[in-house]
Each structure stands twice: as C-alpha cells, then as structure tokens.
Structure 1
Amino acid sequence: MKILIISTPVQAIGQGEGGGIDITLLNIINALSPLGHQFTVLAPTGSKLSADATLIEISGRLQTSVQTESASTPATMSHDSTIVSMCRYAQTHQDQFDVILNMAYDWLPIWLTTFFTTPIHHLVSMSNENQTVADAIEELNRMMPQRIAFHSHASANTFQLENPVTIIANGFEFTNFPFCKSPKQQLAWVGRISPEKGLENALEVANKVNLPLHIWGKVQSESYQQQLVEKFPEVDIHWRGFVPQQQLLKEMSQSALMLMTPSWIEAFGNNVVEANACGVPVIAYNKGGPTETVISGVTGYLVENNEDMANRVADALKLSRYHCRDSAQQRFSIEQYALKLQSWLSLNID
C-alpha cells in the first residue's frame, strides 16, 4: 500500500516535543516498510524523520495542544493553521494513496473522514482529553467503527463508544536495545518536562527512598522545572536532557528501576516497554496504558499512589531483569505489530 500519514500538528516531529507520537510514527514505518508498504509523512515545518519515508513539511500556524487546555475548550483553527493545510494536502493528493493514516489528535481530520474517497484511518494517540475531539471520535465509531484504533483498552474506555474497536498497542524493533544486567543504584524517569507528566510524583518517591533520580526529556516548561528544583532540594536530581533514542536506551538501561508517574491517563506508555526491553523494571500507577503493559510482580508493579510506589521500590529491585526483557520482546515485537497494522489498514482497500 501507499500510505499517507498525517502526523501531529502541534509541533515539529523529531525534535523531542512529540514524545510518544515520534516513537509510534517510527515504529509504524519500521514495521510495515519491510512488507513493501510505502510512506509519505505530513509534518510541521522543521520536522526530522529518520525512517524510510518521504517527509513533506507543512507550514502554518501550529495547533495548541489539548494537554494545556480544559476538556471543554472548543476546537479552533485558523485558515492558515497546520492542521488545515495538512488536510488540504491530503484531500488534494488522496488519489495517489491507498489509505490515509491520521495520527493527529484533532477534530478536523476525524470530521472529514466521510468526505474523502480514499479511506482515512485514525490511530487515537491520547485518552479522552477534549470533549469536541471525543464527540467526533464517538460519532465516527457509530458510523464507521473500523476506521478507528486505540493503543490500549484503557484509553478506548475513556470514550463513550457504542461499537467494538481495534486495539493496536505498539511494537518495537528490539535488535538494538541494550541490556544491562548489573545496573547502577539509581531511578529513571523519561518524558517531557511538563505538568501533565507528573514529574513531581517521581521526585517525591525518590525523596522517600533516598535514591538519585535521572531524568531524560525535553523541557517544555522551564518554570515548572524550576518549581520542582525548589520544592525538592534534597533529591539528587540528574537532568539528562533530550537525547537521541539510541543514546537514551543505553543510558536508561543502566538504571535499577523506572518510575512512571503521569497525572493524566496515558494512552499506552512506550517508556514501559522500552525500559522492560532493556531489563529495567517499571513501577507505574494502576491506570491507563500501563495496566496493559506492566505485569505486576514480573516486569514491575502497578500501584495506587506515591506512598505505595515508594513501598514497592525494594520489591521491584529484586525482579528479574531477564524476565522483563523477555516479556517485552514476546508481547510487543515489531512483527506482531506489523500484522495488526496491516490487517487494520487493509479493511477498506479493494
């Protein structure tokens, strides 16, 4: 198939701002390219893509992330917005493609689904964070349920859906994932330095267990970062910044344990699988995507709050790093992912 991907209209990809979207986009291309599928990716100006695909940079006014707004904020977009330009390009060139894959968590491409002759499929990258987007997803689920897929049942369940949905999860190429059997006595945390990612929770746990916390990720809010530094002066914090993926895996693999502490409901949580694949156990909240990636007592623990998380650190440090790695590779291989994606995207292809 010739596949056109509409990526996020919120920021350029490949710059550390996209988080899970960047990783998922690469995983999709890496999964399906070996099967002969060809990709063209629409992304905001300034994007970078280290994958076997044609990148078309789309200029325009970037959308405001729904993460920074209330759930009741209406959908707004200017005539020169990136998402409008992306959809215009997709509509104009749709005859060149067999299928369009929308990864933008935005009302417009979902609403436009029935107006295209080339099938548009939507991979929903977040849980229910905006009512306008949710309304569009729920309406499309009633009309064309096969066109929507989610990363996890937990994410899908945050919407009011009448018809069964496709769960895609995610898949990874584990060949180059490093494995460290003798880690350093340090905690790891990976994510954008932004309030919804809940870094303060990880710092609270690190303080309780008296272990250093190594933090990888793009600083999206310097004021938030400074507030954390002032609030937790006693924690041994190591700001590692945003680094290339392979470097991140190498450095993170040396940690004894990863903490996952978002304040919102993660749709999947790529970091869980990546950490486990490197042999690193993960302690996460018992909500969202991690409930379907963490096997409590085997690859980490699911907990209800920060106190429980701190109490589980000692137990998690005893878990087999080999079991963590093997579980990730068995459940989230790139080969399994490719079959799921191909089956879903082929549903409406004659």
Structure 2
Amino acid sequence: MKVLIVTTPVKPIGQGEGGGVDVSLHHIIRALTHRQHEVSVIAPKGSQLDADVDAKLIAIDGELQQSCQVHAPNTRFFCDDDCVLSRMWSAAQAHQDDVDCILNLAYDWLPIWLTPFLPTPVFHLISMANENQQVANALQRLNHTAPERIAFRTHAAANTFSFSRPVTTLANGYPLAQFPFSPDGDGSIAWVGRISPEKGLEDAIRIAVRADMPLKIWGFEQDSDYRQALTREFPPSILQWQGFVPHQTLLQQFQHCSALLMTPKWVEAFGNCVAEAICCGVPVVAYNAGGPAEIVENGTTGFLIRPGDLDQAAAALSHVCQMNRTEVRRQGHQRFSLEAYAERLEIWMGLQRTTHSRHSASKRQDPPRPLALG
C-alpha cells in the first residue's frame, strides 16, 4: 500500500522544534516500510530525513506555523496562500490519487477540517492533549462523523477532549536493535525535552539539587529567556547543558545516565523520551500524570510520583538507581517493538486489506477498534 504522511508545519524535520513528532515520524516510516508499504512525506522546505529511512520527501516552501502551545488556548490560527500549512495540504490534495491513505501528524485545525472533503482517507495521529480550542472543535466534529480516523498516543491525551465516541490509542514503537544499553549508570540524571516552560525543567533541576546529582539536559532551546532565567537561578555545578543532538547520538549519550526525570507542567501526550529511556535500560522517575503514567510501570521500570512533590522525587531517585537495568530494558522491549507498532498502524489505517477502495474506505461505518498500548 502507499501512504502519504503530512508532518508538522512548525519547523523543517530535523531542526528540533518538531519535538516528538519528528521522532515519531521516523519510526512510523520504519514500521511501514518494514511491512513493504511505500511512504512519501510532505514537510517544510529544509527538512531532512534520517539516512536509514526509505521514503520520498516532498519539500514545500512557505511561512512556518507557530506552535500552538506557546499561545493561549483560545487563539485562532489562520492560513493564507503564503502559509506552509495550506501549501502542504494543497500538495496532499494534488498527490492523493497516487496513494491509498494520508496520515496527518500536524496538530492544526486545517487538515482535520479538510478530512470529509478529500476522497482519499485522511487519518490523524494527534501528538498533544487539548491545547487549542480551534483544534478541539475540529476534532470533536470529526469524532461525531468518523471517530475511526482519530488516534492518540495515550488515553490521558484523548481524555482531555470531550468526545462523544471512542477513539483509538496507539503507543509508539521503536527500532530496538539501534538502542544501546549500559548495564551501569554513571551517577547523573537525564532530562530530555524542548527547553520551554510547559516541560517543567525547573522542577527537574530542583529535584537534582535535593538529590545532589548532576542533571544532564538535552533538547532544543525553544525559549531562550526561560533557559537564561534557569541559568541565573541555579548553580552551574548541577546543570550540564548537552544541547540538541541527533537522535542516535542522544541515545548513545543518555544510556549511561542513572535515571531519567520527567516533570512536565502540561499534559504530556506520550513522552517518547520515557519509553526510549526504558528501552535503553534507564529507569524513570516521572510525575504520575499524562502519557508517562501509562508508560512507567511503577516499581518495575521506574517510579511515578505526585506532580510537584520534589522531595518525593528526590527520594525516588535513590531507589530507582538501584533497579536492575537489564530487567528495565526487557520490559521496554516487550512493550515497544517496531513490529508490534507496524501491526497497530496497519489495523488502524486499514492497510492489511488485500483489496482497497479509497471511496469505500472513506464511507465505511465500521466502529473504531481501540488498540492496546502494549
């Protein structure tokens, strides 16, 4: 089957601001091509795919879209002819007759609104919780008529919306052979994410100070004022800024950390770095909220703590560092294989059928099939 993926319009692939969407995109391509599907990707000009993925890249020029999480929830976004989002979906319309389905990874109202007007089935893998009312309204309308076209990474993210009909949950999968493993930690803590207030880096720093452990920080600097404020407030002996690095480099570096901290202020829709850490054998201390609460197995692959309880988190670090990293890794490999992910994607998008009619698929009334996270 042929799949066209339309990715986020906030930044070219590979530059960091796409965050977990960029990571997920590459794993989706790997999963689908592993099952002999052909994949094309529409993305902003300047995008670069990893060398090991087999997909045709269609680069689109235009004005980049601002990420909605830096705006108030009631902010309305508009597109004109210069907007890369509208141009990307014009390209999707032009290419739709060449593919069996379209997969949207953008958290924007336009592709959701366009869904009933395109004869080729459009599926939406939603990467965030309810952060914008315009997007929520579009999703709720689509949920009423075609709930099978919507999927979330976790129940926590889906439950932030007021849906009348159930939707699919679809956890990520990873190319586990590429994930390194260190049987021992080096005494440092890892924190991975965009450097932006909603990610809650200040909590992680305060926890590291309490635990008297150095904090290694990886991620794209989305808010430079935020980083500068943190640098002024906290001792440099604790903070070890690692910057934004290629994904495989990130895995090679953080595999040596004794634990990963996850301290978001918003509802984290999934938490790629949590699952990736576990797959590398690095145990996790995370707030018991959002996606991480569905990934971490409390007492087995890490500990879940009350959001904002810094003392509890610091105490958990002393215990989590004693966990059997081989067992942590084994649990991750059981739950997040690329093969199982490919099967979940195929079931959701109807790619397992021997015959496929775009027009019949777009009109089908089959009930959505909820998928297990594991």
Of 112, 122, 131, 1:120 maps to 122
Aligned to 2:361: none
How much has 1:248 moved relative to structure 2? 0.9
How much has 1:77 moved relative to structure 2? 2.0
Is the 2:184–2:325 Cα contact (8 Å) retained in structure 1?
no
Aligned to 1:279: 281
How much has 1:235 moved relative to structure 2? 4.6
After superposition, residues 56-71 of structure 1 pair within 5 angstroms as: 56-71=58-73
1:159-185 Cα shifts (integer Å, max 9, x gaps): 011111111110001102111112101
Aligned to 1:92: 94
Aligned to 1:177: 179
Aligned to 2:360: none
Is the 2:185–2:321 Cα contact (8 Å) retained in structure 1?
no
Aligned to 1:233: 235
1:214-258 Cα shifts (integer Å, max 9, x gaps): 111121222211100111126521111111111111110100011
Of 137, 140, 143, 2:139 maps to 137
For 2:105 and 2:348, locate their aligned partners in 1 and report how far apart those are by CA, in whole Å.
Answer: 14
For 2:234 and 2:246, locate their aligned partners in 1 and report how far apart those are by CA, in whole Å.
Answer: 28
Is the 2:257–2:282 Cα contact (8 Å) retained in structure 1?
yes
For 1:171 and 1:259, locate their aligned partners in 2 and report how far apart those are by CA, in whole Å.
Answer: 21
Aligned to 1:345: 349
How much has 1:85 moved relative to structure 2? 0.3
Aligned to 2:366: none
Of 329, 334, 339, 1:335 maps to 339
How much has 1:261 moved relative to structure 2? 1.1
Secondary structure in 2 matching 1:60 = coil
After superposition, residues 1-350 of structure 1 pair within 5 angstroms as: 1-50=1-50, 51-233=53-235, 235-304=237-306, 305=308, 306-346=310-350, 349-350=356-357
For 2:236 and 2:271, locate their aligned partners in 1 and report how far apart those are by CA, in whole Å.
Answer: 29
Secondary structure in 1 matching 2:21 = helix
1:281-302 Cα shifts (integer Å, max 9, x gaps): 0011111111110001110111
Is the 2:32–2:39 Cα contact (8 Å) retained in structure 1?
no
Is the 1:121–1:148 Cα contact (8 Å) retained in structure 2?
yes
Structure 2: state its 5+ residue gaps. 358-374
Is the 1:194–1:219 Cα contact (8 Å) retained in structure 2?
yes
For 1:332, give the aligned amino acid.
F
How much has 1:317 moved relative to structure 2? 1.2
Is the 2:154–2:269 Cα contact (8 Å) retained in structure 1?
yes
1:99-145 Cα shifts (integer Å, max 9, x gaps): 00000000000000000000000000100000110011111011001
For 2:197 and 2:56, locate their aligned partners in 1 and report how far apart those are by CA, in whole Å.
Answer: 34
For 2:5 and 2:218, locate their aligned partners in 1 and report how far apart those are by CA, in whole Å.
Answer: 28
Secondary structure in 2 matching 1:138 = helix
Is the 1:214–1:239 Cα contact (8 Å) retained in structure 2?
yes
For 2:271, give the aligned amino acid.
G
Is the 1:4–1:40 Cα contact (8 Å) retained in structure 2?
yes
Secondary structure in 2 matching 1:185 = coil
For 2:273 and 2:90, locate their aligned partners in 1 and report how far apart those are by CA, in whole Å.
Answer: 34
How much has 1:91 moved relative to structure 2? 1.2
1:38-66 Cα shifts (integer Å, max 9, x gaps): 11101111110112101111111111111
**Normalising to structure 2: TM-score of the pair?**
0.92
Identity of aligned residues (%): 49
**Normalising to structure 1: TM-score of the pair?**
0.98
How much has 1:311 moved relative to structure 2? 2.0
For 1:16, give the aligned amino acid.
G
Of 109-118 and 216-225, deviating more is 216-225
Is the 1:72–1:131 Cα contact (8 Å) retained in structure 2?
yes
How much has 1:259 moved relative to structure 2? 0.2
For 1:147, give the aligned amino acid.
R
For 1:252 and 1:317, locate their aligned partners in 2 and report how far apart those are by CA, in whole Å.
Answer: 14
For 1:148 and 1:198, locate their aligned partners in 2 and report how far apart those are by CA, in whole Å.
Answer: 28
> RMSD of the alignment, in Å?
1.2
For 1:313 and 1:183, locate their aligned partners in 2 and report how far apart those are by CA, in whole Å.
Answer: 12
For 2:34, give the aligned amino acid.
P
Is the 2:181–2:280 Cα contact (8 Å) retained in structure 1?
yes
How much has 1:78 moved relative to structure 2? 2.5
How much has 1:79 moved relative to structure 2? 2.4
Is the 1:203–1:235 Cα contact (8 Å) retained in structure 2?
no
For 1:13, give the aligned amino acid.
I
Aligned residues: 350
Structure 1: state its 5+ residue gaps. none
